[in-house]
Structure 1
Amino acid sequence: MKPYSDFAAHRSRQITVDVLAVAAIAAWIWLGAFVYSLVIGLTDFGVQMEQAGAGFRSTMTDVGDNLGGVPLIGGGIRGPFDSASSAGATLESAGQSQQAAVADLATGLGWGIALVPVLMILVIWLVPRLRFMRRAGQARTLARSGVALDLLALRALTNQRLPELAAVDSDPTAAWRRGDATVMRALAALELKSAGVRLT
């Protein structure tokens, strides 16, 4: 595979686009991580709620246990404290649920913000770049393997646009048929240039 064109202008464009694409990917990943950190910060409220509920539950349980040991009145006095302890447990559970919900939301938003744009960039940028590298590698292999210029010229006749072919010769097909060496070389160079390979 050949990553970049042999031609300076084309190579400069490729490098510029590569740098911009990598920078855009990094920016979207950073934005996703930033949104995640912002949203995950909302779990602090759930942590405080959980701690408050746990502390209240523990205190009410201790008070209920202590008062429950008092003779005669212990059994009757313990009931309200046990109920209060259950309320504390409910508050603790609500705090845990809030943390889990916020964590799920933060993860979904973070991945959603980063992943979708990154995938779009990869499809728009990386797929064509990989195609170019594959085609340039194949063209370079053909050029170096000593393939006759007429085969490359024939590929130019089938692959290149008509205005580019007309710039080589007014009737490039006829020139190819009669084996015009100058036209054949120009057509081969045109085919290789479109693949980013310089004819040597």
Structure 2
Amino acid sequence: MKLKAGLYIGIAALVIAGGALLAAEGKDAVSQAESRKQGVLEAEQKMIVNEKGPGTIVKINAAAGDSIKQGDILLKVKSAEGAEVDVQSPEDGWISRILVNSGDQVAQGMPVAVVQKNTYYADIYVQEGEIQKLEVDKSIQVRFPYLKRSAQVDGVVASIAAAPQFASLRMSRERGQADLSMFLVRIAVNTNADLLPGMTAEVDLDEIAD
């Protein structure tokens, strides 16, 4: 029994010593969790509307999944007076959805298609004590940890806004740490053939110089 008790005490001492060493270096699990911020990669989308008067859809030139360029004619609308009006893409990107069919009646301002822009972004939440590391237009590296091969792409801080509806609850309250103010940071990401909306994007704040 004494031998077993001594073994347990020795293991506990090693665990405590290892944890103290990691904490001293700032690499303990809590520190890593606080510095590594994750978000979901999203693609910006733009709703296309019929900007002219009411009319009838007479031709559809695009389908969901098609690659398009700014100025491409997506639809043709025939007005009550008989004139045909082109509905053009305002952005480069992909057709996400066509919301009308040939022969449909459309009013002015009615949505007719959704375009997925060639711009990706990820939103992360950053604590008040770390937000000074970031500023709008600052370059930042974004990792995608779950790709088969590690991917790191260039990003830029697009916006910073207060997020009063969110707070970071730290693991210990013994030191007087309670809910902290949070900021919503949007990171614009360069498009990459390996990247898809829905992937996990990660930013390590420890790698950012103040």
Shorter-chain TM band: under 0.3
* TM-score normalized by the length of structure 1: 0.23
Higher strand share: 2
Greater RCO (CA < 8 Å, at least 6 residues apart): 1
